Structure 1
Amino acid sequence: MADPAARLNQPLLAALALQPHHTLLDLASGAGEPAITAAKDMNPAQGSEGGRVLASDLVPAMLAGARRRGAGVAALSFLAADMTALPLAPASVDRISCRFGLMFVPDAAGAVAEMHRVLRPGGIAALLCWGPKVGNTLFRLLDEALGGVPELAVLFRFAEEGALGRLFLDAGFDTVSETSLEQSALADPAKPFWRPTLDMAFTPALARMSAEGRAAVEDRIAAAVALETKLDGKIPVHLHARLLVAHK
């Protein structure tokens, strides 16, 4: 699933219109994307005038993987920070990115207000959030196999068209646009390609299960995957996201 995920990075980074001298703040960086990709394109040869990327996350341990993956990238630095209370001066960054992170923040409006505060006039914020669950094969199949997981609802908090845009307009951003992005991949049903998503997105539900319960869930997932496998022996896996671009 790395390839379709990377293809979602491309329109997100393109929307930022990054220049070599810009400072990009990436929120909820997790394992490091799109911060690492953006930082590799910065020009460290310009010294203090060169661009930089701040990869931030609420949980310092989440940045450990990003530090390993981004080792040696000169323009990349790391910041443990709550996006509702950023330790940055007003109007101190040129661009802000956030890939599949804002929906996890209880005070999403507060986080967007902070984005507006630290962004320079003329700056751009670009975010990705999940579109409807029905358009996301992995989430749909795993949720069905688990019999419906209430905690999953937070992933689709901004799935409704316009829901995310209203937050940014209310925070004072001048212009806001939303675009639907859809990607597909062909997966091998003989391989548990769904297991990383199961482990990451369904942790609370899995924690309540016994080993036998977990095994039963995995059996149901494998059966569901088999049902959706096509004649060519592959299963089409669709991703549906929403790209929001806001200008200050």
Structure 2
Amino acid sequence: MTVHPQPGAAPSGSPPDPDGPDATRERERWTASADAWDRWADPMADLADKLNRPLLDAVGLVEGERLLDLASGAGEPALSAARRAGPAGLVVGSDLVPGMMTGAIRRVRGTDGPAPSFAAADMTALPFADAAFDRVTCRFGIMFVPPVEAALREVRRVLRPGGKAAFMVWGPRSGNGLFAEIGAVVAGHLGEDGSLDPLFRFAGPGRLSALLQAAGFTSTAESDLTPVRKAPADQPFWRAALEMSFGHRLDGLPPDRRAAIEADIARRFAAQAVDGIVPVPSHARIVVGG
């Protein structure tokens, strides 16, 4: 498969998203975080599956279908999708940063039964034929694409007539306590650099749906997931989120500075504990286009 990398500018005739992230910065961010995503892929698999299932339900994936998963990272939800599509189906996982897929490729080697294939691919210039897939999924990835309009048009192009695409994005920052608390501590130590801003790019209801309609989708639907995780206060349940979302800022820090950040995060969550348990709310939104 041929990869067609594109610059960060919006396509001709389409104004750039004023809230969109910088392309170079995002590529550097995920390249720096790739090792952390691989390291946490297996420990986070059960938690990931709780998000994978409603996303695959929303897109309507059934046995025998062909699905493209965008921004697969360490393999989610491509691995779950392959099991659902079965041996008669096909699942292709992709990511802009090849290093992000190291964990996914490693995990496939230990998979019994149907498994996805993986290919490096830029969402704004997908290396696949028109109408090649029945379904497209993207879990927490579309927010980081600078020319998002171009990406959504590409998604529409590779979908067969009648196919569906489903995107999982984060809801408001106020509803995602894990990111909000960790981000506040990191900013307090290292300064605010806007690292979290792209995560909440489509937090507003209807915003991504409007872009899907502009890209040629004739119908859209949205649903919210608002689980509250109950985490033991004496365990570093926050460390995966710290390393996966802020690895690019932690890389190269002296051990004492990193230890100070982690100690402050632990204290912050411990102060919220009730009977040794910390409630960790999250708010995700699934946006479907057909």
TM-score under structure 2 normalisation?
0.79
Is 1:98 matched with 2:138? yes
Partner of 1:16: 59
1:191-232 CA distances to partner (integer Å, 9 max, x unpaired)?
Answer: 1111111111113332474433322211211110111001x2
Is 1:206 matched with 2:250? yes
The separation in 1 between residues aligned to 2:49 and 2:137, in whole angstroms, is 15
Gaps of 5+ in 2: 1-43
Q: Secondary structure at the match of 2:182?
A: helix
The separation in 2 between residues aligned to 1:4 and 1:32, in whole angstroms, is 13
How many percent of aligned residue pairs carry the same amino acid? 49
Please show how residues 59-70 of structure 1 align to structure 2 within 5 Å: 59-70=97-108
Partner of 1:128: 168
Kindly state the Cα deviation for residue 81 of structure 1 after the two structures are TM-superposed.
0.6
Alignment partner for residue 88 of structure 1, among 106, 124, 128?
Answer: 128
Letter in 1 for 2:71: A
Please show how residues 27-176 of structure 1 align to structure 2 within 5 Å: 27-44=70-87, 50-71=88-109, 72=111, 73-146=113-186, 147=188, 148-176=192-220
The separation in 2 between residues aligned to 1:167 and 1:104, in whole angstroms, is 15
The separation in 2 between residues aligned to 1:80 and 1:23, in whole angstroms, is 18
Alignment partner for residue 5 of structure 1, among 32, 48, 62?
Answer: 48
CA gap 1:209/1:68 in 2 versus in 1, 3 angstroms:
closer
Q: Tell me which protein shows more strand as a share of its residues.
A: 1
Gaps of 5+ in 1: 45-49
How many residues are aligned here?
Answer: 241
The separation in 1 between residues aligned to 2:236 and 2:225, in whole angstroms, is 25
Is 126-135 or 65-74 further displaced after alignment? Answer: 65-74
- Contact 2:65 / 2:89 at 8 angstroms: preserved in 1? yes
Letter in 2 for 1:226: A
Is 1:191 matched with 2:239? no
TM-score under structure 1 normalisation?
0.91
Kindly state the Cα deviation for residue 112 of structure 1 after the two structures are TM-superposed.
0.6
Kindly state the Cα deviation for residue 59 of structure 1 after the two structures are TM-superposed.
1.6
Letter in 1 for 2:158: V
Is 1:26 matched with 2:69? yes
The separation in 1 between residues aligned to 2:230 and 2:193, in whole angstroms, is 26
Partner of 2:34: none
Partner of 1:225: 269
